[in-house]
Amino acid sequence: MTIDQSIPLSKDRLFNWLKTLSNQLSKGTLIIDINDENLSILHANPYFFKLTSFENEQIINQNISILNGKRTSKKSIEALNLHLKSGSPKKLTILHYNKEGSAFWNSITLHPIRNNENIIQYILLTCEDTTEETLNKMIYKLEHEVYQAIDHESNLQSILNLISEKIELFYIRDVYCTIHLYNENYDIKSIGSYTLPVHVINKLAFFEIKSNSNFNKSAIYLKDFTDTPLYNDISENYELGTIQGSWTKLILTPQNEISGILTLFNQDSTELKQIDINYLNRLTLLIQLAIKYAEQKIQLRHLAFYDVETNLPNLHYFKTQFSKWLNTGDSGFAAIIHPAEFNKIVDLYGRSAGADLLSQMANRLSEYLAVDDVLISRFSNSIVLGVKGESDSFTSYYQQIELLTLIPYLIDDKETYITIKIGYTNFDQSLTVDQIIHQSDIALSKARNRSGNSFEAYEENSTKQLIEEMEIFNQLAYALHHEEFLVYLQPKINFTTLEVEGFEALSRWNSSRLGFISPIKYIPIAEQTGKIKDIDLLNFKHILSWLQNRLNKGKKILPVSLNISPDHFYDPLFLENIRNIFNQFNIPPQYIKLEVTESIELVDLSRAKEILNQLNALGIGCSIDDFGVGFSSLSYLPQLPFSEIKIDRSFVSSMNEPGMYAIVQTIILLAKNIKMRAIAEGIETKEQLVMLQQLGCPAGQGYYFYKPMSINDAEQLLDIEKTADEK
Ligand code: C2E
Ligand code: MG
Ligand code: MG
């Protein structure tokens, strides 16, 4: 305010002039004598009385501190006094109380009034109630802080605590704040608060929400505690002062459903005013937005780090967490665990069944591996596992990991056994996460080529091997097209007569580009790439036309067993293909047998049973190959209509060990009991033959008798036998 030069000089006249001026002002105004030590109020205008509801007598000769109250901050009182004493112009906002004790934000401006000698005589102090404006500013600030907290990945709980804190610190009233959030069943999901501890909040939890329907959703629910036992209990026992009553307002979702409540517990008994109603409305809206935004953020985080199908952590999560391990210099191993039956399960029951299998596996794995530093994530058709600890510790965990295959999984309501292939690598900080995953992948490719449950570690030369496999893969199509595949036959010997009773057909490949390649190498690659079906059907045709040829010439034929890849066995077109080819020839069905490896029926018993029954109906018998190598199938074997069990070579070759001897004995006994024939594989010595004969094994094959031979050699063998017969 500028003071006109015409202001009279004398102090009294100056005062009178100020009085007239202040009475005309439309703001609360006080005149204070700067020379008075107490800074007494000499005059207050009508607006001031309206603002504070004080009367003239109560104000005159009092100090401005008459407006102070419980929550007026010491700092602002000191600032105001300092400026009043020094007479410097100043604007400040301070929490003041009216005569009834209601707080309001008082926006004060100090104008020093000087006489003609330029000496300050009075302070003209104007007051304005800016409560609404100040609360609005606070809410904006709070909104900003809340969104910042959400951006910094704070969880919902800490955001609710933050809101409660700010309300308690900055609201014009002495309140304790609590925020309850509910889930869909109206059970409490979380409680936010600042001063009140949860056990006290629980005592005060009078506002029960049971259903969504019976509430006036825009109302504010008031509760008076003064006459209740709680009032004394709280004030006596918890050092929280008194809690007079509470105001509760519902927090609604955008769909107008109740998602929580905001409660302000009042320490004073002032009544609810329009300004409080507005404030509560704004706050509940802010909380509603904060919840929505925080939940969206959590969802986004979830989407970024979790697999939608299984809800398992995804590869991105794995990499992020793993990088932290590497940064802190940790070591351990990473393993990719692949259920070998994954693709078959997806083909049979759909993608969600594959995902279901992985999530069941992950659950079991976290149960079996009772260690702290474990990461388990989904990685496409596998589980990727990270374990922090001593390097080279994979093998010490393998027993626990292998438990994954012990009990069947319930997939599409069917009991399904699986086999696992694992590639792993040891890590330390010299590797990146991508390198670690790449190395585990390379090791996995190796493990997938082995039968049964198997694991492989990454080795430097694994890459070389992978390149070799790629070359084989590239040549497979060419080989099929140019008929590079041959069938060899290995005679099966009857142990009673020691005569050849049949053959096993075994695939051979002499590649024009790569030379001779063992089926142990190319069969798994052909299986993985789907080419095996063509190879098996080609062999089937070869064998049938050979047998037909001999029959046409009136020569003797013997049953031939063909190996059928499990992949093929499950192909919906398998039976039709077999039937179509079979019908092109005129061979009695008892001359054809199919061998399938043990892991097939692990996938789905009822389906395996159905296929076997249909083959049996055609007159084609089936053998279970490599018995005993994969999962121990003793329990389900009797349910499946196989006609033959082939005892794996690994058992026969170590039959001189008592344990192995006992296993072979059990398998032969089992076969007898369920009326299947046992055929021993890989007999290399007379000793083995004698032992098998003693155990009552009816037949077998092996280098001791014959190695697999070309069709020409087999022809000769049969013809010689025939000649011998004829003699
Ligand atoms: P398998 O069906 O168990 O065949 C027996 C394997 O043991 C053959 O290996 C055979 O040559 C070998 N063997 C036989 N007697 C002895 C012995 O006394 N000592 C030793 N050390 N080995 C013996 P091969 O021909 O290398 O075949 C390996 C596997 O590849 C087969 O195991 C079979 O699972 C698969 N396979 C071979 N041909 C085909 C085919 O046409 N289709 C399919 N799907 N798989 C095939
Ligand atoms: Mg076989
Ligand atoms: Mg075998």
Give the model's pLDDT for residue 557. 96
401 within a domain of the structure (yes/no): yes
Per-residue pLDDT band at 6 (split at 50, 70, 90): low
Question: Is this prediction's pTM over 0.85?
Answer: no
Integer Cα distance of 245 and 264 in angstroms: 8
Give the model's pLDDT for residue 715. 94
Give the model's pLDDT for residue 299. 78
CA dihedral sign of residues 243, 247, 248, 254 = negative
Q: Which atom of ligand 1 is nearest to the CA of 708?
A: 11
Beta bridge partners of residue 31, listed in sequence order: 43, 124
Q: Which ligand sits nearest to residue 490's alpha carbon?
A: 1
Residues 413, 416, 418: CA angle, nearest 5 degrees: 150
469 within a domain of the structure (yes/no): no
In this model, does residue 85 exceed pLDDT 60? yes
> How far is residue 513 from each of residues 476, 519, 524, 531, 710, measured CA to CA in Å?
11, 16, 19, 18, 21
212 within a domain of the structure (yes/no): yes
Give the model's pLDDT for residue 632. 47
Beta bridge partners of residue 43, listed in sequence order: 31
| Predicted confidence (pLDDT) per residue in 604-649, tens digit | 677 788 889 999 999 999 998 888 765 445 566 777 889 999 998 9
Is 140 found in the same domain as 66?
Answer: no
In this model, does residue 95 exceed pLDDT 60? yes
Is 612 found in the same domain as 485?
Answer: yes
Asked if residue 621 lies in contact with residue 645, where contact means CB atoms within 8 angstroms, the answer is no
470 within a domain of the structure (yes/no): no
| Predicted confidence (pLDDT) per residue in 552-589, tens digit | 999 999 999 999 988 777 777 889 999 999 999 999 99
Is 387 found in the same domain as 262?
Answer: no
Asked which of 72, 99, 129 is the last residue of a domain, the reply is 129
Per-residue pLDDT band at 1 (split at 50, 70, 90): very low
Ligand 1 centroid, distance to 508 Cα (angstroms): 10
Is 625 found in the same domain as 515?
Answer: yes
Is 120 found in the same domain as 90?
Answer: yes
Q: What is the mean pLDDT of residues 39-63?
A: 94
6 within a domain of the structure (yes/no): no
Q: What is the mean pLDDT of residues 382-404?
A: 90
Integer Cα distance of 657 and 655 in angstroms: 5
In this model, does residue 378 exceed pLDDT 70? yes
Ligand 3 centroid, distance to 538 Cα (angstroms): 20
Give the model's pLDDT for residue 189. 86
Q: What is the mean pLDDT of residues 530-559?
A: 95
Secondary structure class of 375 (helix, strand, coil): strand
Ligand 2 centroid, distance to 725 Cα (angstroms): 28
Q: What strands, in cross-sheet order, belong to the sheet with 120-129?
A: 41-44, 28-33, 120-129, 103-114, 90-97
Is 682 found in the same domain as 609?
Answer: yes
Per-residue pLDDT band at 727 (split at 50, 70, 90): very low
Asked which of 129, 160, 190 is the last residue of a domain, the reply is 129
Per-residue pLDDT band at 290 (split at 50, 70, 90): confident
212 or 123, which is more confident: 123
Q: What is the DSSP letter of 419?
A: -
**pLDDT exceeding 70 applies to what percent of the chain?**
95
Asked if residue 631 lies in contact with residue 598, where contact means CB atoms within 8 angstroms, the answer is yes
Give the model's pLDDT for residue 386. 95
Ligand 2 centroid, distance to 501 Cα (angstroms): 16
| Ligand 1 neighbours (beta carbon < 6 A) | 490, 506-507, 518-520, 523, 532, 535-536, 539, 563-565, 595, 625-626, 649, 681-684, 701-703, 708
CA-nearest residue for atom 34, ligand 1, is: 563
Is 426 found in the same domain as 521?
Answer: no
In terms of C-beta density within 10 A (0-12 exposed, 13-18 middle, 19 or more buried), how is residue 668 classed?
Answer: buried
| Predicted confidence (pLDDT) per residue in 344-367, tens digit | 899 889 999 999 999 999 999 999
**pLDDT exceeding 90 applies to what percent of the chain?**
52
Give the model's pLDDT for residue 723. 52
Q: Which ligand sits nearest to residue 629's alpha carbon?
A: 3
Give the model's pLDDT for residue 726. 45
Task: Quote the distance between the C-alpha of residue 693 and its chain's center.
Answer: 56
468 within a domain of the structure (yes/no): no
Is 536 found in the same domain as 629?
Answer: yes
CA-nearest residue for atom 41, ligand 1, is: 507
Name the residue of 487, 488, 506 to mutate for ligand 1: max ligand atoms within 8 A of Cβ: 506
Domain count of the fold of the chain: 4
Is 323 found in the same domain as 377?
Answer: yes
> How far is residue 579 from each of residues 81, 404, 541, 617, measured CA to CA in Å?
105, 37, 12, 11
| Predicted confidence (pLDDT) per residue in 488-503, tens digit | 999 999 999 999 999 9
In this model, does residue 187 exceed pLDDT 90? no
Integer Cα distance of 586 and 631 in angstroms: 38
Is 227 found in the same domain as 344?
Answer: no
Name the residue of 476, 646, 681, 701 to mutate for ligand 1: max ligand atoms within 8 A of Cβ: 681
626: phi > 0 → left, psi -120 to 50 → alpha, else beta; which? left
Per-residue pLDDT band at 721 (split at 50, 70, 90): low
Name the residue of 516, 523, 534, 597 to mutate for ligand 1: max ligand atoms within 8 A of Cβ: 523
In this model, does residue 4 exceed pLDDT 60? no
Give the model's pLDDT for residue 212. 65
Q: What is the mean pLDDT of residues 254-262?
A: 89
Give the model's pLDDT for residue 629. 62
Integer Cα distance of 501 and 493 in angstroms: 6
In this model, does residue 28 exceed pLDDT 90? yes
Is 491 found in the same domain as 385?
Answer: no
Give the model's pLDDT for residue 722. 53
CATH number of the structural domain spanning residue 220? 3.30.450.40
Give the model's pLDDT for residue 74. 93
Per-residue pLDDT band at 70 (split at 50, 70, 90): confident
Asked which of 399, 429, 461 is the last residue of a domain, the reply is 461
CATH number of the structural domain spanning residue 48? 3.30.450.20
Question: Average pLDDT, whole number, for the chain?
Answer: 88
Ligand 1 centroid, distance to 92 Cα (angstroms): 94
Ligand 2 centroid, distance to 654 Cα (angstroms): 19
604 within a domain of the structure (yes/no): yes
Integer Cα distance of 180 and 175 in angstroms: 16
- In 428-546, the DSSP E strands lie at 454-457, 485-494, 500-511, 515-517
Asked if residue 683 lies in contact with residue 664, where contact means CB atoms within 8 angstroms, the answer is no
Q: What is the mean pLDDT of residues 361-375?
A: 90
What's the count of helices (H) and strands (E) in the chain, helices before strands?
25, 26
Integer Cα distance of 429 and 142 in angstroms: 43
In this model, does residue 22 exceed pLDDT 70? yes
Q: What is the mean pLDDT of residues 381-399?
A: 90
In this model, does residue 170 exceed pLDDT 70? yes
* Backbone dihedral angles phi then psi of residue 212, each to the nearest 5 degrees: -95, -5
Q: Which of 15-24, 456-465, 552-561, 693-702 has the lowest mean pLDDT?
A: 456-465
Per-residue pLDDT band at 659 (split at 50, 70, 90): confident
Give the model's pLDDT for residue 686. 96
Secondary structure class of 53 (helix, strand, coil): coil
466 within a domain of the structure (yes/no): no
Which residue, 459, 320, 446, is CA-closest to 392?
459
Is 18 found in the same domain as 74?
Answer: yes
Q: Which atom of ligand 1 is nearest to the CA of 597?
A: 34
Q: Which of 46-55, 253-262, 455-464 has the lowest mean pLDDT?
A: 455-464
- Concatenated DSSP letters of 206-240: ------SSSS-TT-EEEEE-TTSHHHHHHHHHSSS
Structural domain for 253, as ranges: 134-304
Secondary structure class of 191 (helix, strand, coil): strand
Q: Which ligand sits nearest to residue 688's alpha carbon?
A: 1
CATH number of the structural domain spanning residue 722? 3.20.20.450
